Every structure is written in structure tokens, then in C-alpha cells.
Structure 1
Amino acid sequence: MTHPVHMKPAVLPAPLQSLVTDPKLQSSTTHLPALHSLAVQIEHNLQYQHSWTALRIHTHSPLTNELLPRPLVSGVPPERAYIDPDEQIELLKKADQKRKAATDDKSDSKPILEFEAQPEREWVLPTRLSEKWTLHQLHDVFTGISIVPPENETSPTTSTNPWRTSKRAILATVDTDSTVVYYVIHEGMIKPRQN
């Protein structure tokens, strides 16, 4: 069947749009659809632009099972998102010991100081650039989350990293052109990082 010249062909929705409008995804939450679609957009960005794995959208608190102020995303980044300053010092000491042990006395060149911190599951707070956040709103988000996000509804929320003792989240801020900027935010006062 041919279409008349003046008629445009049907336009299929973009892949992200089909995720956002999927009724199965929207029926599992009582948040506003705009907040849920924002979480889906961030989840999509983390997976396809930043190679995060094990992504999940959380609508209820893992601590109280009450509705969170807004849907949050959790997942595992390809690299550690944040290293505690004290942990950083310990990792550098261990790496220096390994480097010294590997150095041959006859060689003038020293191996490069390298250390690797394993990635950890992180909370991600989806926001829009146009939103005005208050400390009270951030407090409400931190009250509903655990230190480490659960992998699923039945898994415990304990950290295997002894240096991870306070709550943190990655603030994902989306601009009107769909650009996403990520910031690490913490609950309370945190020791500054050393350069």
C-alpha cells in the first residue's frame, strides 16, 4: 500500500520514550510519573553512557519499606565513585610496599605506583537542573536509604568496605537538553580528600 505524498510516515517512539511510557513500569510506583520517568532516564544514561551494571530503581525505603520521597536508582559503576581519604592513604601505603618489593636494586627505573579500589554499589538521586533543593529535602532522602543499596528486596544492606561508614548518594542532575552531570553528596560532615 502506498501513502499519498502529503502524508508523513508514522514515527516510532524513541527507545527511551518506550521505556518511560511502559505501563508495566509505571504501575509499580505511586510516585508522580515525571519523577519515575526521570529515574528511568538516569538508569538508561548510567547503563548505556557510563557502563554501570546491576541497575535497579527503588521506590520504597530498604529500612522502613515506606515510599521514598522520589524514586532512586542504584547500581555498580565500572570504577569506584568515591574513596574515603583514610582508605586512600591505606591503599597508597599498600601499593608503595608492593612497588618497593617489586623493584630490582640494579634497575634505575621504578614501577609506577598503582592501586585499585573495587567498585561499590551506589545510590543515585535523579534530579532536574530546574529543581531547587533544600537541606530538608536531602535529609528526607538520606533518612530513607541505607549506607549501601540492597541488590534486591531480600538482600541485606551491609557494607563489606570498613571505610564506608556514612550514607552517600550520587546526585544526577539532568538539564533540558538531556545532559546529565553527576556529583557525590554525603550525609553530614565528611573529611576532605587529599590530593
Structure 2
Amino acid sequence: MSSPDHLTALSRVVLNNLQYQHDWTQVKPHEQPNLPRPLLYGLPPKRLYVHPDEQIDIIKAEKERGEPIPQEPEVEWVLPVHLSEKWSPAQFAALFDVIEAVPPGGASQEGLDVDGSDAQWRLWRGPKRGKRILLATVQDDSTVTYYWIHDGLVKPRQN
């Protein structure tokens, strides 16, 4: 098991990397009593993830409107881990069980449709989005590599 000092140091490395290398804002530690370990959350400079089904809905809506749909960034969860740590699917499942889909400070997108229609692509944002965590893997030289971890199965994106 990791010591609290080790977890704090990992979080600090990832927080600094997000802020100073990747231009994230509002990056904060998140702790709650039933959380297996501290998480971070923050706002990236651009939207990092679009669900494959949302991507299809956006393309259809853009074709109907004749203009691009803005892709505003969303507040994201970040889990700092060290490369030497071994995580099981059960550990990730326990983490997903105790978090909300949208981190604190994440704007609810419900009821914010610009043109008053019930746009299908909006259903993928806000509290209705699937739970996901950006896994921040820290190496011994402080290099940080990021991977998406989803709660459940997600089909691959189309490029």
C-alpha cells in the first residue's frame, strides 16, 4: 500500500505537469472519506474526449446546421499512479463506484441547448456522460503518461 506522503508527492508531480506543461486550469486535489486514494480534477484547455456515439451525433447536427458545433472543454478526473503500481479491474471499479460522472465544478449542460431543440449530441455531456478518469502514470524520472480509463465498455472511436 502507498504511504500518504508518496500519494501526495505523486499528486504534486501530476498537478504541476497538468498546469505547467498542458495548460490546465482549476486543478485541485479531491479527497472524500470513501475514496480509496486522492484524485485530482481540473479543466483542460480544450475538450479531451468525445464519445464515439457523440461524435456521430455531432457530425449529423453540424451537417443539418451547416456550421460547426463548439466543443467546450469539460472538467475531468485525474488519477495519479506510479508506474510500479499494479491496479486490478476491481480497484478501478471501486474507484468508479464512489465518484460522480462530473467532478466538482463541472458545469451541467442540461437545459443549455442554444437553439431550443432537443439536440441528441447534448445527451453525452454533463451528468449523463459516462464515468471516465484520466490515468496519470508517473515514471521514476517524473515523466507523466496519460491514458483514458472508462467505467464499462466503450467502443473505439472512428478516425
Length, aligned pairs only: 142
Q: Provide the C-alpha distance between the structure 2 equivalents of 1:126 and 1:149, rounded to a whole number of angstroms.
A: 15
Give distance in 1, aligned partners of 2:107 and 2:101: 7
Q: How does 1:125-140 map to 2 (within 5 A)?
A: 125-140=79-94
Residue by residue over 1:60-94, the C-alpha shift from the partner in whole angstroms, topping out at 9 and shown as x without a partner, is 1xxxxx24111100001111111011211122223
Pairs within 5 Å for 1:1-195:
32-60=4-32, 66-99=33-66, 116-151=70-105, 159-160=108-109, 161-164=122-125, 165-195=129-159
Letter in 2 for 1:126: P
Backbone CA RMSD of aligned residues: 2.0
How far apart, CA to CA, are the structure 1 residues paired with 2:26 and 2:136?
17
TM-score (norm 2): 0.80
| Aligned AA (2:60) | K
Q: How much has 1:194 moved relative to structure 2?
A: 1.5
Q: The residue matched to 2:14 in structure 1 has which SS?
A: helix
Report the TM-score, using the length of structure 1 for normalisation.
Answer: 0.66
Aligned equivalents of 1:173 and 1:128: distance in 2? Answer: 5
Q: Which runs of 5+ in 1 are unaligned?
A: 1-30, 61-65, 102-113, 152-156
How many percent of aligned residue pairs carry the same amino acid?
A: 48
Give the structure 2 partner of residue 106 of structure 1: none
Mapped partners of 1:162, 1:40: distance in 2: 34
Structure 1 segments (4+ residues) deviating >2 Å:
93-99
Local SS of the residue matching 1:131: coil
| DSSP-derived class of the 1:56 partner | strand
